[in-house]
A = this chain, B = another copy of it.
Amino acid sequence: MADENFVDALAQLSFLVQNALAEIAGRHDLSLIQTRLLGVLRDHQPTMQDLGRHLGLDKSSISGLVDRAERRGLVTRTPSASDRRVVLVSITEDGLRLARQGAAEFAERIESFAAGLSEDDRRALTVLAQRLIPRTAPSA
């Protein structure tokens, strides 16, 4: 089976990237899921329900997640004006700072892994990776 190598290489690459992400998040006392939460909030001001969809979690899990992030001053809850059942979640200045810092460190780390790759190699890897990723792939 020639494709054992293919599957193994993708699996190991995914562990490499995820471990880097978890390690960098940990340096800021963040879990992977808290990091993803901040990542989503960088570009959106979603409802609790939206967050559940984005992150693939039950609403009760989102409640706890946002509780803990709010306790640390990284996000805030705002009641919706149009529907008083709804809660909007926003990132704070502190949260934004942390998200940017983490993203920069992550990019640096990935770059360091790819130090041995030429520009052409990187472009080729980028294109091949993109062809594997469906439009529905979750983001950080």
A interface list, Cβ under 8 A from B = 3-19, 21, 56, 106-107, 110-111, 113-114, 116-117, 121-126, 128-134, 137-140
3 closest A-B pairs by CB: A14-B17, A9-B129, A14-B14
Closest-by-CB residue of B relative to A128 is B125
A15 contacts B125, CB within 8 Å?
Answer: no
Query: Whole-angstrom distance from the CB of A4 to the nearest CB of chain B?
Result: 8
A15 contacts B137, CB within 8 Å?
Answer: yes
8 examples of A-B residue contacts, CB within 8 angstroms: A3-B122, A11-B21, A13-B13, A13-B17, A14-B15, A16-B133, A16-B134, A117-B128
A131 contacts B116, CB within 8 Å?
Answer: yes
Beyond A9-B126, A19-B138, is A132–B107 a contact (Cβ under 8 Å)? Answer: no
